[in-house]
Every structure is written in structure tokens, then in C-alpha cells.
Amino acid sequence: MASADQFEAIREQVARAVADQLSRADIDWSSVEQLVDPVVCIEAKFRDRSREESTQTAAGLTVTHVVDLTGVVTPKSGTPFEPPEDITTRAVDDVAPSAGTILPSLPRGSHVANSDALRSRVQPRSGPAQESNSEEASDAEDEDHTNISRKAISGLRPSRGDVPLVENNTQRQMQIADGNFPKRRKAESVGYALKPSTLDKLIVGIWEQIHGGISIDPQGLMDQFMAGPLLQGAQGSQVGMHSSGLTQPPGASLFQNGRPFNDTNLFCRKVTQASRTCRSVEVIVQARWVEYFDAYVEHLKTANPSTSDTKHRKAALVEACSDFGWSDKELRNKMAIWRGYKEIKDAGGWASLVFAGMGIYRFCKYRIGFDKESMQRLASLRPALKVAADTTHPNWRQLLSIIGESPERVYHGHPHDWVVFPDGTPPAPLHTMYLQWDPYFNFRHIEECIIDERAWGGDDPRWSPPTDAALTRISPLPICATCSQEQSDDLKQNNCYCFPSLFGSASPHRSPVQVFRTLNGRSNGLLALCAFERGAAVGEFVGVVTRGLQDVDVMEGANAAGSTTYQIWQGRQGNFTRFVNHSCNANAQYQRFAWLDTQRVVLVSKGIEAGAEITVDYSDKYWRGLDKKCLCGEKRCRYRRDS
């Protein structure tokens, strides 16, 4: 038998779900008003989620109830509704936020149907005694005030045709859903599941290398292994190695001064990055050698056209074996893998080779999925790979000078200053996508929110003062409201790892996302280059923290205490979260998170696959009264507006 707490939880959850469905349902309230004795019939069935298709329900698991709506829907007086006097209208200085050029318009008068009142009428009463007392009090009040007309203010009251209903101007204001943090996906007992192909793994490996912590810098490679020994050769070949701290055996006495361990870390990092750079040089040189081999075979055919092509290839192979010092079989096996490198280069460009992970060897050796369609798909990603490589690793093209290619970059600026196209069309600058609406459009990428001083002065409205309990704590560090651990920008003191990729980490890397042009008229969108696990942070929603803006896309927020509300505007300054489109079946959501007592808005994954568009639900408040059509294309789209 369920406990009292379980009954309370079930009651709240069911009542909330019913209230939400009624508030979203497209009901013709004018027809409801014609009913003499309106009632709502509610039927609830308990069944297993896995047996939803079954039409049979076990006995004793069905509940039917009829709710009388006579006093809720039918108005008890013919007196027309009079909206309250507008007390929110105030004078606003003719100034714009310091970050943009859009002027905040005057707030409009409003009268909003209280959703809490709607839910209170749908929720069942706590007991018969309370219901009886309520009815007696209501009857007594009716007897004392029979001549006073009453106004129905319930959320279920249908609007009258002769009375205009005035609502808040809440268009284009996104809200954050509370209590819906994406938890870990339940394990599914599936016998057969689709796994990513070999090409998918190769592509994901390339993106991970581009956005990872590696450094493709040929100059650093030369300085580490060539310049050091040459400059220090007069003092002995061991001088350069002593600074690394690796020449002495490990022991406790070695780290008394504290520096040898840090020197060892730096030296090991340099060697690791140099090894990774050497691997990239090896791959591109081997791919170029295959091109030279084919060109040499063509030269032999031109010099002696009477000889067959097989003999020409045999002659070139024998000559190469002599220079390499390998057997014929060994060189053939290696050349088969190297030819795979060349084919990948021909399709995806040099960037696909330089930043390929260790899986490229296996991919070219076994050639699983190495077909024409795979190469066409890789070719469509070639411009996107160039943009990411040039903007994230400015010096990577210097490696190409080894094989005679130009070391000059093609794309400059921020990685999200360019918009890529799914069909492989050359990328376009971001500002050109908005010139048709704003000839002077310019967008600045920032890493942290900027406070609008004209709206807030020098204060940050997202900050909340410490509570009384926090002031009496022994530790002076803020405590995370999610994990109850200490937060600090000092890595040695921080114990909060709710979003380690954003807060409290050693060196956060760029999120593996890219701005792309959608194909169904939704302008730009955000593409996930790598998979994001459920509950992982994609990025922080940053922009200009202001207030009072209307008719522009903003994010509504409030500090932890709820005493101050603010808006985050990304019209001219922000980051990649500006380009996240709406979907009625979103794979991400915005989540509030307090870091160091300052409220942040984090874009959290619900389980995003590599190559998928990142979408969020803009909330009902954004779409309410907005003359705009939803283009998400979902089967259960809530804002399609076919008319």
C-alpha cells in the first residue's frame, strides 16, 4: 500500500499534468459557455509503460471522476469584465542598452489569467472536512452579499466576444523549465542496436582532435628537438634534459622545492604534443608519396608506351623497395594503407589527415565502409573541416610546407564567425546572413556575460547575497545548491563538478559545435560535431544582462532568491547559444545553475548524437500571441499554425 508521501506526490504530479494540458489545449470556450451544466469527465488508468498499446487494464486500476464546472466556467453575473487600471505603465528614458541599438518600448497594461488558480481548481481537495467548511463559508457569504455581483477570474473562464482580453506582452521571451533536469537515460534491453559506422568514428575522431587539447605547432616541435641541443651543445648534451627533471630517479626528496614536478609535466606535455605533430607529418608525407609514385608510373608509361602498365608499376615498386630497404610484400602492404590516406585527403582535404585520430590506420587497413558514398559524405564536410582547423589551430598549415603546400590560412577570426552549409558549399561570413534585415549587423563573440550599466549600474542582478546559514558556516566558500559541495575558481579548493567543462576546470576547451545553414527556412542553426551525453553541458547562455526589452528574443532569468528579474539579450553580443533553434521535441534544454552565488543559464544536453542539430523548447511564453509559424517539423508540433 502506498504511503501518505507517495499519495501526495501522485496527486501533485497528476494535477499539474492535467492543468498543463488544459492550459495548452485548443478548446472552443464559446461552445463550453453554451452548456447549461458543464462538467469535466476524467478517467485515469494505471498500466505498464511497455504495454501502452494494450487496450486491456487490470481490474481495480481504473479511476473515473466527474468535476462540476458550473461555478467555474459559467459567470455568475452579467456585468461585463473591467480590466484593472494599468499600474505598470511608467516613463522610460529614451536610451538603449549600452550593448546594442534596440530601444526598449513602454511596458503595456496587462491582466493575466493566473495559472495557479487553474491548478488549484483541478487539484483534488485535501479532505471532506475542508470541503464542507468551504461550502458553508461560501453559502454564508452569498447570504450577506446577495446584491453584489461577482466576477469570475478563473483560468478556465472563456473570453467574451464583447470584452477584449488584455494579456502581458510576453512574446519572444524564453523561460527556463524548473525541475526537469535531464537525468541518465534508462537502460533498454534491446537485442540488436545500431552502432556508428567506421566512417562515423573517423569523422568524430577528427572533430575531437580539432576541439581537443592538442597543439599542432611545427615551430614548437623544432624548438624542442633541434634548437635546444644546438644552443646548449657547448655545455653538454645533458643540459637540456636536466631542466625536465627526468634525469633523476623519482623520490620524495626530489620534490622538496616544488618545481621539478611542474617541470616534468611541461616536458611530458611538449613531448606528447610533438609526438602527435610527428604523427600528422608522417601521414601527410605518406599520402604525398603515393601521389609521387603514381606520377612516376605515368612518367614510365610516357617514356615507354609499348610496355604494359603492370610492368611499369612493377618497375617503380622494385625501385622503391631498393630505396626503402623493404621487401616487395612489405611495401605493398604499407602502400595499400598509404593509398587510403591519399583517398581521404582527396575527399576531406589535408585537415582530415592532420587531425585524424588513431582510427585512421584501422580504417585504411581494413577499408570497411570505404566506398564512394563514404567519400562523398567526407567531401561535403571538407569546408567545415577547413573552417574549424584554420580558426582553432592557426599554425596547422605550416606542416603542409613540408610537402610544398601553401602555409597561409584561408579562414580567419572566431570559429563561429563562419556559417557552413550541409551540401559542401563554401562557408559564408556570419554577418552576411543578416544583412537583408540589418545592413549594419555585427556580432561580437564573448565568453562571459556583460552587465548593462545603464540598466543595472555596477551591480550584477544575477548575484544573490549569502543566506544566514551560509554566514554561519565554517567554510567561507560558496556551496553548490545541486551537489552541496564547495565551489571555487581555485582548482585545489573546488569540489563542485556539476558542469566541469564550464566551471571549476583547469582549461575548458571550445565546445565541438558549429553554426550551419538550415535547409527548411529556419535561418542558421547549431550543429553538434560530437556527441553530448545526457546531462552534459553544451555551453553557457551569455549575452548582455539588461531589462525592459520587448519584441526581441531574450532569455528571462532571476537570481537565486527570486528578488530580481533580468533579461539576457544576444542581439549584438553573445556566443553560439544564440543560434540554437526551437523544436517541440528538443534534445537540449536551458538549466539554471548558481556558480559562486551568481545565477547562470546553462545549455544542457538531453542526449545529443554527433551530427545532430541542437534544439531547445522556447517555452509557451515565447510563442504566446506571436505571429510566427513553427518550422520544427515534428509530428507533435504545438505551434504549427497551418492556417
Same domain for 612 and 577, yes or no, is yes
CA 169/CA 109 separation, integer angstroms: 9
Q: What is the pTM of this model?
A: 0.70
What per-residue confidence (pLDDT) applies to 162?
Answer: 47
CB 460 within 8 A of CB 417: no
Q: DSSP letter at 227?
A: I
CA 37/CA 67 separation, integer angstroms: 11
Q: Give every CB contact of residue 32 below 8 A, 6+ residues apart in sequence.
A: 38, 73, 158
Q: Model confidence at 626, in pLDDT bands (50, 70, 90)?
A: confident
User: Would you state the cell numbers that stand for residue 553, as one nine-digit string?
Assistant: 528574443
Q: Give every CB contact of residue 638 below 8 A, 6+ residues apart in sequence.
A: 24, 584, 623, 630
Same domain for 452 and 591, yes or no, is yes
- State mean pLDDT over 11-32: 75
Q: Give every CB contact of residue 498 below 8 A, 6+ residues apart in sequence.
A: 480, 482, 483, 593
Tens of pLDDT, residues 356-399: 988 899 999 998 888 899 999 999 999 999 999 999 999 999 99
Q: Is the pLDDT confidence value at 86 over 50?
A: no
Q: DSSP letter at 94?
A: S
What per-residue confidence (pLDDT) applies to 39?
Answer: 78
Could you say which of 412, 445, 465 is where a domain stops?
412
Flag the least confident range among 40-49, 103-112, 254-263, 479-488.
103-112
Same domain for 314 and 379, yes or no, is yes
Strand partners, 479: 486
Same domain for 111 and 217, yes or no, is no
Task: Decide if 174 is inside a domain.
Answer: no
Q: DSSP letter at 283?
A: H
Structure-model confidence comparison of residues 273 and 111, the more confident one:
273
CA 469/CA 466 separation, integer angstroms: 8
Same domain for 613 and 501, yes or no, is yes
Strand partners, 602: 540, 591
Q: Give every CB contact of residue 608 below 8 A, 6+ residues apart in sequence.
A: 528, 531, 532, 538, 587, 588, 614
Continuous segment of H or E residues that includes residue 28: none
Task: Decide if 539 is inside a domain.
Answer: yes
Percent of the chain's residues with pLDDT above 90: 45
User: Would you state the cell numbers that stand for residue 600, as one nine-digit string?
Assistant: 547562470
Counted residue by residue, the chain has a size of 643
- Phi-psi group of 597: left, alpha or beta (phi > 0 → left; psi -120 to 50 → alpha; rest → beta): left
Task: Decide if 88 is inside a domain.
Answer: no
Task: Decide if 106 is inside a domain.
Answer: yes
Q: Is the pLDDT confidence value at 181 over 70?
A: no
Task: Decide if 596 is inside a domain.
Answer: yes
Provide the CATH number for the domain around residue 525.
2.170.270.10
Q: Model confidence at 145, in pLDDT bands (50, 70, 90)?
A: very low
Helix, strand, or coil here: 389? helix
Flag the least confident range among 24-33, 201-210, 521-530.
24-33
Same domain for 215 and 361, yes or no, is yes
- Which residue, among 590, 544, 602, 595, has the nearest Cα to 568 in the 3D structure? 544
Domains contained in the chain, number: 3
CB 321 within 8 A of CB 331: yes
- State mean pLDDT over 513-521: 94
Q: Which of 126-135, 461-470, 484-493 has the highest mean pLDDT?
A: 484-493
Average pLDDT, the chain: 78
CA 279/CA 283 separation, integer angstroms: 6
C-alpha distances (whole Å) from 186 to each of 190, 196, 544 are 12, 20, 38
What per-residue confidence (pLDDT) applies to 67?
Answer: 74
CA 584/CA 268 separation, integer angstroms: 48
Output the 3-class SS for 587-609.
CEEEEEEEECCEEEEEEEECCEC
What per-residue confidence (pLDDT) applies to 254?
Answer: 64
CB 336 within 8 A of CB 293: no
Task: Decide if 319 is inside a domain.
Answer: yes
Same domain for 294 and 406, yes or no, is yes
Structure-model confidence comparison of residues 23 and 385, the more confident one:
385
Same domain for 34 and 148, yes or no, is yes
Q: Is the pLDDT confidence value at 418 over 80?
A: yes
- State mean pLDDT over 525-545: 96
CB 403 within 8 A of CB 285: yes
Same domain for 464 and 610, yes or no, is yes
C-alpha distances (whole Å) from 30 to each of 34, 73, 359 are 7, 11, 65
Residue 358: what residue type? M
Task: Decide if 178 is inside a domain.
Answer: no
CB 209 within 8 A of CB 356: yes
Task: Decide if 421 is inside a domain.
Answer: no
Continuous segment of H or E residues that includes residue 42: strand 39-45
Same domain for 358 and 437, yes or no, is no
What per-residue confidence (pLDDT) applies to 209?
Answer: 93
CB 97 within 8 A of CB 547: no
Q: Is the pLDDT confidence value at 614 over 80?
A: yes
Same domain for 405 and 451, yes or no, is no
What per-residue confidence (pLDDT) applies to 9?
Answer: 77
What per-residue confidence (pLDDT) applies to 327?
Answer: 96
Terminal CA-CA length for the chain: 50
Q: Model confidence at 258, in pLDDT bands (50, 70, 90)?
A: low
Structure-model confidence comparison of residues 124 and 87, the more confident one:
124
What per-residue confidence (pLDDT) applies to 272?
Answer: 86
Q: What single string gives the DSSP state of each residue in 244-270? A: TT-SS---GGGGSSSHHHHHHHHHHHH
Same domain for 488 and 341, yes or no, is no
Domain that holds residue 359: 206-229+262-412
- Output phi, psi for 65, to 5 deg: -145, 145
